[in-house]
Amino acid sequence: MAVKRPSGPRGSFLLGSANQFREDEPTFLLESIKTYGDLVYFRLANMHTYLVGHPDLVREVLVTQGDKFEKAALDKKILGKFLGNGLLTSDGDFHKRQRRLAQPAFHSKRIQNYAEVMVDYTHQIMARWQNGSVVDVTEEMMHLTMLIVSKTLFDADVITGAADTAAAIGSAMHDFQAVSNRDYQRGFSLPGWIPTADNRLRSKAAAQFKQVMDQIIAGRRRTAVNGQVEDTGDLLSMLMLAVDEDGAVMDDRQLRDEVATLFAAGHETTSNALSWTWYLLAQHPEVEAKLHAELDTVLAGRQPTLADLSNLPYSLQIIKESMRLYPPAWILNGRAALEDVQVGDYTIPKGSTIFISPYAMHRLPQYFNEPETFRPERFTPEFEKALPKFAYMPFGGGARVCIGNAFAMMEAQLLLAAIAQRFRLVLANDEPVRYKAQITLTPAGGIKMRLVERETAVTTPPQSELSFA
């Protein structure tokens, strides 16, 4: 019996829509929804793909019938070569168990302890910035978030002497992401035993990461008292202390997989969100001026703290609007149907792949007036309350919603406030910045910006040592 499929781009006989998709993946997905409706079918070579473009149908896939889908094989094959069986790649009961074990590490009271670390590292970075100099803001934000995630995740304090540890992990993660991006662009991943340049680079990165993490974990276990590791205030401590309902804890391999996943997810995503934010602010001086007015009024020259965030609503609106236009997670990992699943008016056959794209959802005019316009003022409490759930989803949704979303939003708002209080970031040239749709939505070629120190710059010196105490 023939399968009744929703409409969508036909593509070529052999490759389907693969070539059009690879030309500009986010735009292809957005235009497909605009053209063909809430559920779109297209083929990528031999992969039968269904694109979900309505909040209610997104809910069906991620929540209501979430147990009928698993991570797509390509995502697990590419990402699993480095992230193992961590939260991003695992499925089923194992994923639920790991999620339960990891959740306490992201309790609101726990992550609030990291606010001072985030601001202090930001001031360490700004201490070497010179008024009038030009920097690649993408590289600067990447370096800053790497310092923060290294400190908060496994207490590698770069400033006070653990530079080699953080640098080694950061280098391994950079190589892994570069190789994975190339695998996604090819649409397949060769077996690890084939001695290609990418496989060798990935193997080297994995070995380097394993060596460093094994040393850190072993050091924690050596200082354990009666088998109980010390809570040093970082996320790794919480992962090592976590016990499930059967009294089991994570073994070293599981710990490595989760640390790799959290490092990858908490590093590049926030740095890209901030990079796009600076780019948008530079093009909208009226928004930037309103931000500066809020910072000057609330902070009055002192560095921001966690307690200030509730009094800085416009800075939060800016972050949300930036992540609407340029969500770092521009597409969720593909889902594969474990059985025939009824979604809307159609049956999605077993084995089909489901795509959900926050980038596409965020630019639909039925949910966002003038969706291509950067307008932070749209994110009022009333607007967000009326917005259909899953129309805006920068952190995904359902059982697999990003576990570190509160951490990421706190970090982005604090870093924006700390930097914008002291500097304006002005585009160094008139060349348009285009995105590169990799694992995250990255500014292609970086963003060159000139640092202009503000007269109301904060003068409070950063601390020389960082502590969770």
Residue 305 forms part of a structural domain: yes
Note down the domain range covering 120: 18-453
Residue 465 forms part of a structural domain: no
For tokens 């699993």, what's the residue?
Answer: 80
3-state helix, strand, coil in the chain (%, to 5): 55, 10, 35
Give SS3 for 187.
coil
Residue 463 forms part of a structural domain: no
46-66 burial code (b ≥16 CB/10 A, e <16): ebbbbbbbbbebbbbbbeebb
Q: Is 226 left (phi over 0), alpha (psi -120 to 50) or beta?
A: left
Residue 441 forms part of a structural domain: yes
Residue 467 forms part of a structural domain: no
138-195: pLDDT as tens digits: 999 999 998 999 889 888 764 444 556 777 887 888 888 889 888 888 878 888 888 8
**The tokens of 64 are what?**
């209501």
Read off the pLDDT band of 469 (50, 70, 90). Answer: very low
pLDDT of residue 160: 46
Report CA 241 to chain centroid distance, whole Å: 25
Between CA 141 and CA 126 the distance in angstroms is: 11
**The tokens of 323 are what?**
């992540």
List of E strands, 352-461: 353-356, 423-427, 435-437, 441-443, 448-453
Between CA 400 and CA 386 the distance in angstroms is: 23
Instruction: Judge whether residue 345 has pLDDT over 90.
Output: yes
What is the chain's mean pLDDT, rounded?
A: 90
Residue 444 forms part of a structural domain: yes
| Amino acid in position 50 | Y
What order do you get walking across the sheet with 134-136 strand by strand? Answer: 134-136, 448-453, 423-427
The CATH number of the domain holding residue 183 is 1.10.630.10
HSE-up (13 A, CA, CB side) for residue 41: 15
Instruction: Judge whether residue 223 has pLDDT over 60.
Output: yes
Between CA 267 and CA 442 the distance in angstroms is: 12
**Given the DSSP bridges, would you call strands 353-356 and 346-348 parallel, antiparallel or unpaired?**
unpaired
| Amino acid in position 308 | D
252-304: pLDDT as tens digits: 999 999 988 888 888 889 999 999 999 999 999 999 999 999 999 999 999 99
pLDDT of residue 317: 98
Q: How far is CA 362 from CA 68, 335, 341, 366, 417, in A?
A: 25, 20, 25, 10, 25
pLDDT of residue 233: 87
pLDDT of residue 286: 98
429-461: pLDDT as tens digits: 988 999 999 889 999 999 999 999 998 654 444
Give SS3 for 356.
strand
* H runs (alpha helix) in 284-431: 285-299, 313-325, 358-362, 381-386, 405-422
Number of domains in the chain: 1
pLDDT of residue 461: 46
Residue 252 forms part of a structural domain: yes
pLDDT of residue 105: 86
pLDDT of residue 2: 58
Read off the pLDDT band of 247 (50, 70, 90). Answer: confident
**The tokens of 117 are what?**
């670390």
pLDDT of residue 145: 93
pLDDT of residue 459: 47
Give SS3 for 469.
coil
Nearest Cα to Cα of residue 351 among 53, 81, 48: 48
pLDDT of residue 159: 45
Residue 268 forms part of a structural domain: yes
Average pLDDT over residues 16-27: 95
Q: What is the dihedral of CA 381, 382, 383, 389, to 10 degrees?
A: 80
Average pLDDT over residues 15-36: 96
Read off the pLDDT band of 67 (50, 70, 90). Answer: very high
